[in-house]
Structure 1
Amino acid sequence: MSYQLSAVVADVELLREQTADLDHAVLAALRQDFALLPVTPQLVTELTGALPDFAIGEPSAEQPFQLVLSPALRELLAGWSRQGPVAYLEAGFAGGLGHQSAVVWLGGAVSWGPCFDDRFDRPRAEWPINAALTRLGAEPGPWIDPFAELGLHLERDTAGWLAHGRRGLSADYWDDLAEEWEQHQQPPRPGPVGDWGIA
């Protein structure tokens, strides 16, 4: 099973304010009052006035992102971070192999990263996306790590996140559906004794 992510994550109100007038911005709800903004070529063009550029070859520590973060895009995200921390996250997995990368801006400048990992031999908390989400203010909860706690596992790719946002789904949507399904699968409870024909 594959997984692909290219997104900006920040406080939902911060992202709502910064993207209110954009035609190609779709916000997807996460838990803990965060939101995910899927980064598409159309969005990058709208934000920067230029077509996006993509790295040649696989991401690495030297070139952590597939999307080349142009000076205009970096400046824009840094500007957003004056209202609170903003992270750009990327991940790509197929057949159990893959990578993830992250960078965080705060107060108009990079405050952490960029960080890249394709070995995952460190504790989960130090994986790039988990570390970035912690720096955004993600709180521990019942899920295994910040990635799952906020709900980044809910969709498998950009198209999924776009659909999630356009449909206005919550981060608990799938859990709610499963719970509803389970309730409807329960056999009907027996009625009172009188309903059994026993007087």
Structure 2
Amino acid sequence: MGYQINAVVADTDLLDEETGELDHAVLGELRQDFALLPVTPQLVQELTGALPDFSVAERGAAHPFHLALVPPLADAFRRWSHRGPVAYLEAEFAGGIGRQSAVVWLGGAVSWGPRFDDTFDGPRTGWPINAALVELGVELGAWIDPFAELGLHVERDTAGWLTHGRRGLSVDYWDELAEEWEGRQSAAGQQPDRPRSVVDWGIP
């Protein structure tokens, strides 16, 4: 199963304030009071007045992103960063092969990155998205890394995150459904399979 992300991640209140007037901004809830903003063609056009531009160069350290962060788009993220750190993240994976890249703005300027990786032969903490999330202030907890800690794994692509945001789901939604299902199964197992008389229940 593949995975794709093309999004901004920042503090929920920051993104609420900066995107509240935008028609094409959909925020997906993450853990630790962060939110994810899918960067769609419609959003890019709303922010820049033009359709998105995509790089045709081979991806690498010199060209880390597929989406061209043209000045009007980068300027929007830069302006938002006066309220706090803002990260732009990209990742594509299919069949166990993939790449990811990230950059962080703070105080109106790039404060970290951009970084690109397609080998992942170093520690997980150094992978671009994990490292960028640490720059945002994500704290490690029970999950394996900052990526999972925030819940970035729960949707597989932009369409999934758009649905996630529009439905107001939490990143624990599927876990909550599983727990609810297990609870129902457990409760059902404690009940008789068919109606029984009081004699069957051992009541004289």
Band of TM-score, shorter chain: over 0.9
The 3 A distance-change label for structure 1 pair 189 and 20 is same
- Please give the residue correspondences for 1:1-199 in structure 2 after superposition, counting only pairs within 5 Å: 1-186=1-186, 187-189=188-190, 196-199=201-204
Query: Could you tell me how far 1:190 is from its partner in structure 2?
Result: 6.0
How many residues end up aligned between the 2 structures? 198
Give the superposition deviation at 1:60: 1.3
C-alpha deviations, 1:24-47, integer Å up to 9, x for none? 000000000000000001100000
Shift of 1:58: 4.2
Larger radius of gyration: 2
Checking the alignment, whether the CA contact within 8 Å between 1:32 and 1:138 is kept in structure 2 is yes
TM-score by length of 2: 0.93
**How far did 1:149 drift?**
0.4
**CA offsets, 1:116-170, max 9 Å, x none?**
0000011000000000001001011100000000000000000000000000001
Q: Is the 8 A contact 2:57 2:63 kept in 1?
A: no
Alpha-carbon contact 1:4-1:158 (below 8 Å) kept: yes
CA distance in 2, matches of 1:108, 1:13: 17
Tell me, which stretches of 5 or more residues in structure 1 are unaligned? none
1:161-199 Cα offsets, whole Å, 9 max, x none, are 0000000001111110110011111144369x9872244
53-62 or 104-113, larger mean C-alpha shift: 53-62
Amino acid at match of 1:9: V
Please give the alpha-carbon distance, in whole angstroms, between the structure 1 residues aligned to 2:143 and 2:175.
13
C-alpha separation in 2, matches of 1:103 and 1:15? 17
Query: In the alignment, is the contact (CA less than 8 A) between 1:58 and 1:66 conserved in 2?
Result: no
C-alpha distance after superposition, 1:42-63 (max 9, x if no partner) = 1000001111100114421110
Identity of aligned residues (%): 71
Q: TM-score, normalised by structure 1?
A: 0.96
CA RMSD across the alignment = 1.5
User: CA distance change for structure 1 residues 141 and 196 in 2, over 3 Å: closer, same or farther?
Assistant: same
For residues 168 and 58 of structure 1, the distance between their equivalents in structure 2, rounded to whole angstroms, comes to 37
Unaligned stretches of 5+ residues in structure 2: 193-197
Where do 4+ consecutive residues of structure 1 move more than 2 Å?
187-191
